[in-house]
Amino acid sequence: MKKNSFLILSTALLLLLFSACGIGSTSTLRSENTAATQAVSSQYLGDFQPIAGTNYQLAQISQKPEAAGVGNLVSSLSSREDYGNISNLVFLDAKTLSSHELIAGNDQIILSVRQFPDPENGPGSPALQAQPAQPVQPAPVTQNIVVQWLVYQVIQKKAGEPGILKADLPFSIGVSDAGGNGYQELLSGLTKTYGISQINDQQLLVVYTKNNVKSASILDLAKRSVTATNPLIDLGAGVE
């Protein structure tokens, strides 16, 4: 009888031991999965907002402020006008429910997005300005304007380039239609812009600095091409 009791007690202890090991393993696995999720979740998707006169809605993918290294990035970007922490944009067709990113991957900073024609103040006003930890705010629609083009200022990360993007890197001017289709960069290596304005239905005037030279270019939005470029008059070394 004592022998049987001893066997029963031993079996019970072994079962408790195995159960405890299983719980410990599950707990460890869950902890590791949670840590991995937290490690890779450095970005977030914002709310979708309608683009005036179209079936499309737009949301931004942004860096979380607490993500590693993003604090310094946001701080440096915020010291320069229009700079923020938007990594990409997602477009959603409200009719077909199809969606796509503006640019493949999230290895860039989108400094600003402008819509043409602009539904609030006519051609040339910002659709959204990239701001640290700020959601996209839709422009109030005051006219029956159909947005046809979106124009972007983007800092691209080159393939194989280590580290975090910095605000002092040159940026590009890119163009897409209102649904984020056909994105193409038309001007690159820019360090500053002095205005982007629509001069007719499908042309933009962009004034900028590139390689320390101030120039003006006309962009054909439909053809995704630069049709003319000319340097500004020499303003002297004291004018930035």
Residue-wise over 42-54: b if at least 16 C-beta within 10 A, else e? Answer: ebeebebbebbbb
Beta strands (DSSP E) in 119-224 are 126-129, 149-156, 171-177, 184-200, 203-210, 213-220
Select from 234, 149, 147 the least CA-distant residue to 196: 149
- In the prediction, which pLDDT does 134 show? 47
Q: Count of domains in the chain?
A: 1
Q: How far apart are CA 33 and CA 38, in angstroms?
A: 9
Q: For residue 211, tell me if it sits in a domain.
A: no
Q: For residue 214, tell me if it sits in a domain.
A: no
Q: For residue 75, tell me if it sits in a domain.
A: yes
- In the prediction, which pLDDT does 22 show? 53
Q: How far apart are CA 206 and CA 215, in angstroms?
A: 8
Q: For residue 234, tell me if it sits in a domain.
A: no
Give the pairing of strands 43-45 and 56-63. Answer: antiparallel
- In the prediction, which pLDDT does 8 show? 53
Q: Which domain holds residue 74?
A: 43-189
Q: For residue 160, tell me if it sits in a domain.
A: yes
Q: For residue 144, tell me if it sits in a domain.
A: yes
Q: What is the pLDDT along the chain (240 residues), one digit of tens a residue?
A: 555 555 555 555 555 545 555 544 444 444 444 444 444 567 889 999 999 999 999 999 987 765 434 333 333 333 333 335 788 999 999 999 999 999 998 888 898 999 999 877 655 444 454 544 445 555 554 558 899 999 999 998 765 555 556 656 899 999 999 999 999 999 999 999 999 999 998 999 999 999 999 999 999 999 999 999 999 998 888 888
Q: For residue 104, tell me if it sits in a domain.
A: yes
Question: Could you tell me how many residues make up the chain?
Answer: 240
Q: For residue 137, tell me if it sits in a domain.
A: yes
